Amino acid sequence: MTKICTRCLLKDFNKEQYEAIVTNGLSSLPKEDLTGSDITEKRLAVCRDCDKLNQGTCLACGCFVEIRASLKKGKCPYDLWK
Ligand code: SF4
């Protein structure tokens, strides 16, 4: 049985998928579209405390939060990243 990991980011439980989805996905985007790592980490800290986070995805919008939080135009659907 696969353990469900709530309040986890993808990098916390599946390094292969993290590399394939997040690292590769972000590497294909223009650098000017990405936030600095400090902003991304602040956003992800909010996600980690959010009950909508489930195995690296946001149950409110279905995104991989590590990708959304890395985008300058990325927004939390509940506007919790202020
Ligand atoms: S993007 Fe917003 S609603 Fe979704 S998990 Fe993060 S803080 Fe929660």
| 27 found inside a domain | yes
| 15 found inside a domain | yes
Taking the centre of ligand 1 as the mean of its atom positions, its distance from the CA of residue 20, in whole angstroms, is 22
| 77 found inside a domain | no
CB atoms within 10 A of CB 41: 12
Q: What is the pLDDT of residue 3?
A: 64
pLDDT, tens digit (0-9, with 9 covering 90-100), for 45-64: 999 999 999 999 999 999 99
Question: Which atom of ligand 1 is nearest the CA belonging to 79?
Answer: 2
What average pLDDT does the chain have?
93
**Residue numbers of the chain with a pLDDT score lower than 70:** 1-3
Q: What is the pLDDT of residue 7?
A: 86
| 75 found inside a domain | no
Distance CA 70, CA 75 (A): 10
pTM of the model: 0.91
Residues within 6 Å of ligand 1 by CB: 46-47, 50, 52-53, 58, 60, 65, 76-78, 80
